[in-house]
């Protein structure tokens, strides 16, 4: 197969590992900087042009779109879809996954376990919003934050109110969520490929930190998931229309609850902690699925 890894940086661990895994299995793999791609969108025969030459003959793409480049990155993925090229994740599914509220709405529709979550626009409704999630302590999140930035734990009603007012005064979109205290500052990252969880780690935040993000000093270790956790992760990826996803769960008193579903999950932390060849599993997934006509996204919403 001829495979393109859409990434702005060929030196990143995940990009390098995907290239290596593809080449090791006898495929031709090229890293394409999607920000350098351009397109003639009115042409009857859709094309992507890269460094002056049309990209031709690709069987599959693996998009690794950065959170700050979603708009242009998904446009490039869409153009490949128009050309009939198989993608590990469809453009629409990537766009959905970048909005936490949209993500939770789709998961809720499927009956997947979630922390009680509220969302409102007007600051006149703050009391009602706080009560919706059962009062303080509660978590306030910027809708498009990543790596734990913009995730705040408000321990009291008054703090919650001030933080919500401050975010709203900056016109930030936020959601308000029940605090899952019993998770103890840990979450589970489940790496889904196709309809299976192929690797899972538990991430534990440093002492005194409720956020477990590795970028914030969290530590990762291999973990065995319960059958319910596995099926929650797989159903979540499916509900979002993602074929490759990092599903983050918290262990709550009422079973696994989903935090978010990531469409370009990093490979380094999970490969190091589990020893699983995650990049190899992604290439093997392509080997099984390319050419089966599953190009389009089928999620409504």
Contacting residues toward ligand ADP, per CB under 6 A: 115, 139, 141, 145-148, 151, 177-180, 183, 187, 210-213, 248, 250, 259-260
Residue bearing tokens 């489940």: 190
Measured from the CB of residue 137, what is the shortest distance to ligand ADP in angstroms?
9
Nearer to ligand ADP, 79 or 263 (CB): 263
Residue 181 DSSP one-character state: G
Answer for the pair 193, 200: CB distance below 8 angstroms, yes or no. no
Query: At a CB cut-off of 8 Å and minimum separation 6, what does 85 contact?
Result: 58, 59, 60, 61, 295
* Complex with ligand ADP: residue 60 or 273, whichever CB lies closer: 273
CA–CA gap between residue 48 and residue 291 (Å, rounded): 20
Q: Minimum Å distance from CB 71 to ligand ADP?
A: 18
Q: Tokens for 134, please give them.
A: 């059962």
Residue 105 or 287 having the CB closest to ligand ADP: 105
The least distance separating ligand ADP from the CB of residue 256, rounded to whole angstroms, comes to 13
- Least distance from C-beta 43 to ligand ADP, angstroms? 37
Which residues partner with 60 through β-bridges?
3, 86
Residues 212/187, Cβ–Cβ less than 8 Å: yes
Does residue 56 contact residue 49 with C-beta atoms inside 8 Å? no
Instruction: Calculate the alpha carbon distances from 160 to 69, 133, 200, 212, 235 in Å.
Output: 31, 12, 33, 21, 32
List the structure tokens of 66.
């950065």
Nearer to ligand ADP, 260 or 297 (CB): 260
Stretch (H or E) spanning 57: none
Q: Supply the minimum distance, in Å, between the C-beta of residue 251 and ligand ADP.
A: 10
Closest to ligand ADP by CB, 75 or 116? 116
Distance, CA of 243 to CA of 146 (rounded, Å): 21
CB of 182 to ligand ADP, least distance (A): 9
CB of residue 157 vs ligand ADP: minimum separation in angstroms? 17
Other Cβ atoms within 10 Å of 6 Cβ, number: 25
Rounded CA-CA distance 240/248 in Å is: 13
């Amino acid at each position: 197969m001829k495979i393109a890894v859409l990434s702005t940086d060929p030196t990143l661990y995940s990009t390098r590992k995907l290239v290596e895994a593809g080449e090791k299995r006898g495929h031709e793999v090229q890293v394409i900087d999607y920000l350098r791609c351009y397109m003639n969108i009115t042409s009857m025969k859709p094309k992507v042009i890269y460094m002056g030459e049309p990209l031709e003959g690709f069987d599959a793409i693996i998009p690794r779109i950065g959170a700050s480049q979603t708009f242009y990155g998904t446009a490039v993925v869409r153009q490949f879809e128009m050309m009939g090229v198989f993608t590990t994740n469809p453009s629409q599914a990537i766009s959905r996954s970048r909005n936490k509220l949209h993500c939770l709405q789709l998961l809720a529709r499927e009956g997947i376990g979630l922390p009680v979550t509220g969302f409102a626009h007007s600051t006149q409704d703050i009391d009602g919003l706080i009560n919706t999630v059962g009062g303080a302590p509660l978590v306030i999140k910027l809708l498009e934050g990543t790596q734990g930035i913009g995730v705040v734990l408000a321990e009291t009603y008054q703090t919650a109110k001030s933080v919500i007012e401050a975010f709203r005064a900056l016109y930030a979109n936020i959601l308000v969520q029940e605090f899952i205290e019993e998770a103890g500052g840990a979450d589970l990252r489940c790496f889904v490929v196709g309809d299976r969880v192929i690797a899972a780690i538990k991430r534990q935040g440093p002492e005194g930190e409720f956020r477990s993000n590795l970028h914030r000093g969290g530590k990762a270790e291999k973990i065995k998931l319960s059958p319910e956790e596995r099926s929650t992760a797989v159903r979540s990826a499916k509900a979002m229309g993602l074929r490759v996803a990092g599903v983050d769960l918290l262990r709550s008193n009422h079973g696994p609850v989903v935090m978010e579903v990531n469409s370009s999950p990093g490979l380094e932390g999970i490969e190091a902690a589990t020893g699983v060849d995650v990049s190899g599993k992604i290439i093997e997934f392509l080997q099984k699925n390319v050419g089966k006509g599953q190009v389009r996204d089928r999620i409504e919403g």
